[in-house]
Structure 1
Amino acid sequence: MSESELREKVVNALKSVYDPEIPVDIYELGLIYDIKIFPVNNVYILMTLTSPACPSAGTIPGEAEQKVREIEGVADVSVELTFDPPYSQDMMSDVAKLELGFM
């Protein structure tokens, strides 16, 4: 599998993870800051949460890691949580904004 194919599968896996309080997936919400694919299909994800006090802080990063780890061919997954830059609604995709009534 090529790097671009794996990246697409990673994005699709992340689109299956939802913040339980918001009916939009974490990718469209803009919570994923970076996805890197390293040799031998090791995946690195840099992400944030809507707030440092997010009640789902203990579950969302782990669920994201689990979903990506389930992709056939992925050797390892590392999820790093950051709050720099702080999350804002401007990071949402147009799909998310439309779904949440911001457009």
Structure 2
Amino acid sequence: MLDQEAILTALRTVKDPELNVNIVDLGLVYTVQTKEDVIDVEMTLTSPACPAGPEILRNAVAAIELLEGVTKANVKLVMSPPWTPDRMSDDARDTLGIF
């Protein structure tokens, strides 16, 4: 069984192409659950109309499915609660110049 930190590390390789910051540090990943070799993730986007949304979701699935022992990644897009900049890590804030 994979631990949550390994999954989050894989998801850190996925960047929002418009902001050039990974989805974990942006605070887009809400939940990660492991069921044997299947990983379920709930995540959001910075905006419901984000044009990069489909690309980000595909990349998140691909990053998780590259992990040894994972046969399937289910990434579900949720809009509740809505994303706010308060969810960003300090590293993301520094990168984007938000203080």
Q: Do they superpose with TM above 0.5? A: yes
1:73 and 2:72 aligned: no
Q: Which residue pairs with 2:26 in the alignment?
A: 29
1:87 to 80, 83, 86: 83
AA in 2 matched with 1:27: V
Partner deviation per Cα, 1:15-57 (whole Å, 9 max, x = no partner): 000111102100000000000111x221000000010110111
Percent identity (aligned)? 38
AA in 1 matched with 2:28: L
- Mapping of residues 1-103 of structure 1, within 5 Å: 2-4=1-3, 7-38=4-35, 40-103=36-99
Deviation at 1:3, TM superposition (A): 3.9
Structure 1 runs (4+) greater than 6 angstroms displaced? none
AA in 2 matched with 1:91: R
Separation in 2, partners of 1:23, 1:41: 30
AA in 2 matched with 1:56: A
Deviation at 1:61, TM superposition (A): 0.6
- Aligned Cα RMSD in Å? 1.1
In structure 2, runs of 5+ residues without a counterpart are none
